[in-house]
Structure 1
Amino acid sequence: MSNDKRLPSLYISHGSPMTALQPGQVGERLAELAAALPRPRAIVVASAHWLTREARVGGAAQPDTIHDFGGFPRALFEIQYPAPGAPELAERIAGLLGNAGLAARVDPQAGLDHGVWVPLRLLYPAADIPVVPLAIQPRLGPLHQYELGCALAPLRNEGVLLIGSGSITHNLHDWSRGYSPQQEAPYVRPFTEWMEQQLLKSNLPALLDYRRQAPFAERAHPSDEHLQPLYFAMGAAGDAQLGASRIEAGVDMGFLAMDIYRFDGALGPQPQPQPQLQEAA
């Protein structure tokens, strides 16, 4: 952490909802990370489980804990994460996005889906830090999520922790294919290692074009709503040099890589995406 105490932005692989009951390595890594960071005054989470056609910001004063899944143990549905909201911050976020040409509206009813509360419960179990959820618009692609992060990067200087929550690999078709901790899916390591190499090099053109350039990209992400929050966290780094570092947390069920990334890029002038960075159609 730099000596100015600025918060990094984070990308967290939250895994399945069962991570809340069986946190494993990711729970250990997130607890260590929380202990190493200055305490945020508020947290903004762009979640792979709040998907909209327009930018929306959660503005509830007391957001509900949403159990947006089925077929899991009853104990999972009994978990609550009663963190307060931050309506004034939500309005400010909508303003920052609007100023960047990314029209957004505040949703006063939005709750916290499991992409928000599962990782936050491991980071800050007391649930005493205000939380603002942020929707992503997957049809607009990774560049759009990167631009959302760029627009909100100045909040890092104000004690706001910006998080993208998804999964570095996410192919639920592999649930029934017999993979396990002892037999990983063959695409997981090549894909995650390629992502790490490009992130450490701040190779934004390659990252935005990952569907064509990364090995096994379509196998790792048949649809990429769980990877797109990574681009939000990248943009929130606030600099073209991302200052990325990978925190490994194992591979859940043999196919869900649980990598965490922190981005400590210097908060200078906001990077402007160049025309050649447009992702493939």
Structure 2
Amino acid sequence: MDTFFLSHGTPTLSIDDTMPAQHFFRSWLPAAVAGAQPPRAILIVSGHWETATPTVNVVRGNNDTIHDFEGYGFPKSMFQLEYPAPGAPDVAKKAKELLEQAGFGPVKEDHGRGLDHGAWVPLMFMYPEANVPVCQLSLQTGHDGAYHYDLGRALAPLRDDGVLILGSGNATHNLSCMAPVAEGTPVPQWAAEFDGWLQEALLAGGRHDDVKQYEEKAPHGKMAHPSPDHFLPLHVALGAAGEDAKAELIHHSWYNATLSHASYRFTTTTKNKPIAACKE
């Protein structure tokens, strides 16, 4: 299966039907973006779960819906939304096995954590019946893009078993610059240049090494991502598609002029090579 990076944006995407990104996620099944049939299961890496070491949520039964935006003044209706997708404990266990075989262990299991909004907000529109099993894998923000790219490569065999691998974050994500702006406000230079660099690096050049080193290679890398949490899911999805993967921009819009909703599909063009064990 192809892998995908989704820019999930602000949690208000869940209730704001004027946002182009919500319309994109609603079109997912009708347009068969990931294929004519739903996947057997989904493994999603969200910018909202960080741990010191890789961790999978092994949920038997339905996933809880984590409303992890309390205290930010969001409407009460958002806290009533639920996405009770079944857990995917077999996929979580297989992901753990693959990661440990590649040297990323020990991988921990979390048996109580549900889905954070980086997972359930896009999925509620993509698979609205909540009938596709879902598990999550955490990020390690103490490690760089290359580490997460290799982590994705280790997960690649899941795709052969009908598992859809999704990274959920944002192409640009600087919350300190997200004050409300008037409609039609131009995108600031730092956001436009980073977003454009990413498109060119992925679509025209296939420059995976540059993307791994975006803080040094990209214009305004630290401004676009003061914290790497919303960009590292892209590296996981890209790595899972392989070193010669072809990228496709499947959606592009802006929120408040600074938050890019650019989303990408990554298609494998050659067979993935096994990776060496991760070493300190």
In the TM superposition, what is the alpha-carbon distance from 1:8 to its structure 2 partner? 0.8
Aligned partner (choices 212, 234, 245) of residue 248 of structure 2: 245
Closer, same or farther in 2 for the Cα pair 1:133/1:29, shift >3 Å? same
Contact 1:181 1:253 (8 Å CA) reproduced:
no
Aligned equivalent of 1:212? 216
Q: Which runs of 5+ in 2 are unaligned?
A: none
Matched, 1:30 2:25: yes
Q: TM-score w.r.t. structure 1 length? A: 0.90
Q: Which amino acid aligns with 2:67?
A: H
Matched, 1:64 2:64: yes
Question: What CA distance in whole angstroms lies between the structure 2 residues aligned with 1:106 and 1:135?
Answer: 10
Superposed displacement of residue 72, structure 1? 0.3
Quote how far apart the aligned CAs of 1:147 are.
1.3
* Amino acid in structure 2 at the alignment position of 1:233: A
Partners of 1:216 and 1:268 in 2: CA distance:
34
Offset at 1:11?
0.3
Question: Are the structure 2 counterparts of residues 241 and 85 from structure 1 closer, same or farther at C-alpha, using a change threshold of 3 Å?
Answer: same
User: What amino acid does structure 2 have at the position aligned with 1:91?
Assistant: K
- Is 1:193 the counterpart of 2:196? The answer is yes
Q: Render the CA deviation track for 1:62-116: whole Å, top value 9, x for unaligned.
A: 2210000122000000000010001122111110111111111221112100000
Determine helix, strand or coil for the equivalent of 2:142: helix
Summarize the Cα distance change of 1:179–1:195 in structure 2 as closer, same or farther, 3 Å threshold: farther
- Stretch of structure 1 that moved more, 93-102 or 207-216: 207-216
CA distance in 2, matches of 1:126, 1:58: 21
Equivalent residue number for residue 43 of structure 1: 42
- Aligned amino acid, residue 72 of structure 1: F
AA at the equivalent of 1:68: D
8 Å Cα contact 1:153/1:267 also seen in 2: no
- The answer (yes or no) to whether the contact 2:149–2:237 under 8 Å persists in 1 is yes
Q: 1:228 — aligned with what?
A: 232
- After superposition, give the CA deviation of every residue in 1:7-45 in whole Å (9 maximum; x if it has no partner): 210000000100111142112222333331231010000
What SS does the corresponding residue of 1:187 show, helix, strand or coil? helix
Deviation at 1:194, TM superposition (A): 0.6
- Equivalent position SS for 1:222: coil
Cα distance between partner residues in 1 of 2:102 and 2:225: 29
Alignment of 1:141-180 (within 5 A): 141-176=144-179, 178=181
Secondary structure of the residue aligned to 1:268 is: coil
Q: Which residue type is aligned with residue 172 of structure 1? A: L
Structure 1 gaps of 5+ residues are 1-6, 274-281
* Deviation string, structure 1 residues 193-235 (Cα, Å, up to 9, x no partner): 1101111222122111211111111111111110010000001
| CA distance in structure 1 between the partners assigned to 2:74 and 2:272 by the alignment | 45
Q: What is the Cα deviation at residue 175 of structure 1?
A: 2.1
Matches within 5 A, 1:89-128: 89-103=91-105, 104-128=107-131
Q: TM-score, normalised by structure 2?
A: 0.90
Alignment-mate amino acid for residue 139 of structure 2: I
Give aligned pairs, total. 267
Q: Quote the sequence identity (%).
A: 36
Aligned residue identity for 2:51? T
* Cα distance between partner residues in 2 of 1:236 and 1:117: 21
Cα distance in 2 between the residues matched to 1:177 and 1:26: 18
Taking structure 1 as reference, are residues 224 and 158 closer, same or farther at Cα in structure 2, changes over 3 Å only? Answer: same
